[in-house]
Amino acid sequence: MTDIKPDLDQARDAGMGANWEAPDKSLLGDALPSAPRLPIECFGSAGDYIKRAAEGANAPVDYVAAMLLAATSALTGRTFEVRVHRSWHEPLILWLAVVGPPSSGKTPASQPIRKRLYAIQQKMIEEHEKKVDEMIAELQAYGIPNLSGKEKQEAIKREMEKLDELKATPPRCMVGDSTVEALARIEPHAHRGLLVDRDELAGLISSLERYSSGVDRPFYLEAWQRGAYSLQRVKYGAYFIENHSFSISGGIQPDRLQSLLIESGDDDGFMARVLVFWPAFVRPSRISAGCSHSDMEKALERLRVIKAPYEEHVLQFSPDAFKCFEDWYGDAYAGRVGTLGKIGSAFGKLPGQTVRLAGILHLLDWSFGTSEDEPSGEISERHMAAAVMLVEDYLVPQIVRTYHGADLSSEEVIVTSILQYCRKAKLTRFNLRAARREWGIPGSRGGGATKRFDEAASIGEKAGWIRRVSRAGGAKDYEVNPILHTDLVS
């Protein structure tokens, strides 16, 4: 317990905090770490577009960069992979979350890229339908050689059924709100990548527990690494997905992010797989004039039709790039090995994330560049160094920011949030039920919320910050230690 008895004595001298014990100052929580600056230079030829698009949307560059990484993964993630060595391969699958309060620019920054992805998908669907229609016309015109009579008619009927089914399953590179069963049907016909894009990512993550008793969660977890997957459903039957993989992107509000970390229960590494882009909130100060997105549109089209002259779309490190990665792995990463708690799980995913980012940045830089050649199958030291810089200067600080207080118990987080709310709103009394229902405090949703808040209030009472003043009719009214509203606890 942090001793603030001298502060309490000073408050009493000023006529505040009478009849209160010295409170535990540690429950007020540490200040949230500040947001890091996104190193635009890591994005190579795409950097200029990121800056212009962010300025045009009156939004942080972080949001544009995150969506551009997601789009690159959407067009390459299921096909391309980076080979570190013989037994270590990483697909270009990324899970990303943009974090910010309402009206922070998340949607305006990402919408042009999102619209372009949907336009690319529509183009692929039209090309697919045209190709199938041509096959149907050819079958109707020429039939099936070497067959005649009833046998020929039955064979044509079977082929027509196959073509009708093929037409109904066009290639996709992006889906929005989709069930696990729908994803299982879409994946085998996906393009070179598939992005599950949700405006509110918290809803998707919460639904994996709420509506499926947790059985859908492994389906998502396995998709991060890529591999064969068998899905069994009583109502829908069995699905076998040979290449089970998809990227994820979406937005989360800061309070919901903390709730997800608290309410996730056992740490299965789901949130640790998510790269967080959480810039400092800046209120819009002007009306944006927008900007041209033609270079982005051209870049994404290049990624769609990319031809890999190398074997099976495998990217490899140049010797210098491998040395750069090896140095980082043995120094910065090794220094974090053994970190406990949920933040340790996030640190543990960094080697794979760094490899994937190196491949993504390699292809993204090429797509915005001027070379008419196909991209090299070798990742250069420059792109490896860019991935390391992005991880060390931005993503690691974001992990620290994201998991700030995440390893506290849910009850400790609740009482800390109550105290912070009371201080901000200058409340001297509050009702615990109203706090749970109306204040948007992490841990206020889901089963057992009432019990969690009761236990949190008990912690607050023992720590000397609050005390119950009414029990009539089961009321849970509390008064707040007046010292909370002084500069002595700032």
Q: Which domains does the chain have, with CATH numbers?
A: 5-29+409-489 (1.10.10), 40-125+173-402 (3.40.50)
Q: Indicate the burial class of 274 (C-beta count within 10 angstroms; 0-12, 13-18, 19 or more).
A: buried
pLDDT tens digits for 83-121?
A: 999 999 999 999 999 999 888 899 999 999 999 999 999
- Report d(CA 257, CA 275) in Å as an integer: 12
Q: Reading across the β-sheet that carries 95-99, which strands appear in turn?
A: 174-175, 195-200, 247-252, 95-99, 274-277
* 169 closest CA partner among 155, 154, 182: 182
pLDDT tens digits for 246-286?
A: 999 999 988 788 777 766 554 678 889 999 999 988 777 67
The three-class DSSP label of residue 38 is coil
- Report d(CA 489, CA 22) in Å as an integer: 12
- Unique residue bearing structure tokens 């992010």: 257
Q: What is the pLDDT of residue 293?
A: 95
Query: How many Cβ atoms sit within 10 Å of the Cβ of residue 267?
Result: 16
pLDDT tens digits for 162-193?
A: 887 778 778 889 998 778 888 888 888 888 89
Query: How many Cβ atoms sit within 10 Å of the Cβ of residue 309?
Result: 9
DSSP 251: E
- Report d(CA 41, CA 390) in Å as an integer: 9
What are the 10-residue block averages of pLDDT along the chain, 490 residues in total? 48 56 80 90 97 93 97 94 94 96 90 95 90 84 74 81 80 86 86 90 77 73 87 70 91 83 67 94 72 95 81 88 96 86 90 98 96 92 98 96 80 89 93 91 79 94 91 85 80
Q: Any idea of the CA torsion for 15, 18, 24, 29, to the nearest 10 degrees?
A: -50
- Report d(CA 55, CA 71) in Å as an integer: 20
- Using an 8 Å Cβ cutoff, are 120 and 297 in contact? no
Q: What is the helix (H) or strand (E) element at residue 263, kind and residue range?
A: helix 254-263
Q: Reading across the β-sheet that carries 429-431, which strands appear in turn?
A: 429-431, 477-480, 466-470
Q: What is the pLDDT of residue 14?
A: 45
